[in-house]
Amino acid sequence: MSKVRFRLVNEREFETFLEEEKVRYAHSIAKNRHVSFEEALKSGDKQINELFSEGMHTPGHYVFLVEGEEQVVGNVWICINEESRRSFLYNIFIHENQQGKGFGTAALKEAESWLKERGIQSFGLHVFAHNTGAKRLYERLGFEVTSVNMTKNLSS
Contact 75, 8 (CB under 8 A): no
Q: Quick one: which of 101, 65, 61 has its CA closest to 80?
A: 61
| First-residue to last-residue Cα distance in the chain | 45
Q: Going by C-beta distance under 8 Å and a sequence separation of 6 or more, which residues neighbour residue 140?
A: 105
Sorted by where each starts, the structural domains of the chain and their CATH numbers stand as 5-140 (3.40.630.30)
* pLDDT tens-place string over residues 63-106: 999 999 889 999 999 999 999 999 999 999 999 999 999 999 99
Bridge partners for 75 per DSSP: 65, 93
* pLDDT tens-place string over residues 128-151: 888 898 999 999 999 999 998 887
Helix (H) or strand (E) holding 5: strand 5-8
pTM of the complete model beyond 0.75: yes
